Structure 1
């Protein structure tokens, strides 16, 4: 059992200390957090018996947690190798961005009429906060580590379509984050992305679904082009990529 797995085991013990009754839920959430943070890296094997021993539980809750991770698209079962964290290729990333353009464009169109005034006001505050951070470092990345205050998550939730929200928040964004952490990042993309967010926010505030969808699609295409440019030119940095 690796040091990473033992570290995860400590977190699980804390969760089981009265905070969560369901072992499978605790395992799933702990392993998800470890994968998303990179403490369990792409391609790393998740051994069912080993996890059960490290966490002090039976294999049943481990098996259930691994099944849910596979449904979420964070792990895959490889024949004769067991379960491993996905190791997305550049082509996987580009394919996700193609789908992202359509899904987030639709979410923006719906959110333009579905989001409440308080939700739009909160979104404006978030965008202003992000802008203030970027003004201090115009060439820096646009970091959105707080999932609940992520610009795109707010719009996905605000579209009021539970199917679309579930696809984006529960399945799509976790896989996208893994791809982003693994592949090219382009210096200076953060400020451009923030300006694009401002324009999308303006369209949402004006309740113009057509323009909101158009701007969101352009925004995602710009991110895709930045990825391709960074890959071809080799101009990268080591910070999280802009959303």
Structure 2
């Protein structure tokens, strides 16, 4: 089923942005594919003004605009993807360390609930894939928010998370990766529950290092 559905709501631009992001990151639109503004506006049931505003907010993140050609889904080289993962490992490693000092008991409980929910997903249990269903259910973003560091959150959200979401689901489907990622998430939560900053940073960096290797293997395939 297509992610693009008619919009019913007050904030047309924001809803259009969410739907376009979901469509791109789910693979409905492929890297390098041209996006027809007229067709997208028709499918969303809105005028082209709010859609252009949404696409403008995604320029440099998930789409590129070329004069006389139009808008295309961003294409990342293997080197681009690898560098994004190196940057993510540094930022999220520090985020996990800070979270040990600043996370609330409620936030720790929320992470444990997310992990238990992830563990119950049929595709995770079958070892087929492990990817977040929505931003609110994103394990990594929850830890970044628990670090209560606006600079780290902004750097990750502004570009890195947008661009890597294109590749997260594909790399999570490699044999054995889903179950391994779940165990790695468990190790991160254990370190956070113990308020052990060294172990939390180490567990996060190990997890993202393995995620990078999986992503590189998926790109090569």
Q: TM-score range by the shorter chain?
A: 0.7 to 0.9
Residue matched to 2:6: 11
Residue matched to 1:239: none
**Alpha carbons of structure 1 residues 214 and 68: separation in structure 2 relative to 1, 3 Å:** same
Distance of 1:99 and 1:88 partners within structure 2: 15
Residue matched to 1:44: 33
Deviations 1:39-85 (A, max 9, x none): 333222234456567667655433322210115x0101235422111
Q: TM-score, normalised by structure 2?
A: 0.82
**Pairwise CA RMSD:** 2.9
Distance of 2:43 and 2:183 partners within structure 1: 47
Residue matched to 2:52: 63
Segments of structure 2 that go 5 or more residues without pairing to the other structure are none
**Equivalent position to 2:129, from 141, 148, 151:** 141
- Are 1:166 and 2:161 an aligned pair? no
Residue matched to 1:129: 117
Distance of 2:116 and 2:50 partners within structure 1: 43
Aligned-residue offset at 1:155? 0.3
What secondary structure is seen at the aligned counterpart in 1 of 2:128?
coil
Aligned-residue offset at 1:162? 1.9
Distance of 2:120 and 2:42 partners within structure 1: 47
Larger Rg: 1
**Alpha carbons of structure 1 residues 223 and 82: separation in structure 2 relative to 1, 3 Å:** same
Residue matched to 1:208: 196
CA contact (8 A) 1:184 1:231 kept: no
**Equivalent position to 1:115, from 91, 103, 124:** 103
- Are 1:30 and 2:19 an aligned pair? yes
Residue matched to 1:240: none
**Alpha carbons of structure 1 residues 184 and 219: separation in structure 2 relative to 1, 3 Å:** closer
Residue matched to 1:241: none
- Are 1:225 and 2:220 an aligned pair? no
Mean alpha-carbon deviation: is it higher for 159-168 or for 34-43? Answer: 34-43
Aligned-residue offset at 1:115? 1.1
Aligned-residue offset at 1:141? 2.5
Deviations 1:75-114 (A, max 9, x none): 0123542211112333222121111101111111111111
- Are 1:195 and 2:183 an aligned pair? yes
Distance of 2:50 and 2:167 partners within structure 1: 28
Residue matched to 1:77: 65
**Alpha carbons of structure 1 residues 195 and 85: separation in structure 2 relative to 1, 3 Å:** same
Q: How many residues matched?
A: 219
Segments of structure 1 that go 5 or more residues without pairing to the other structure are 235-243
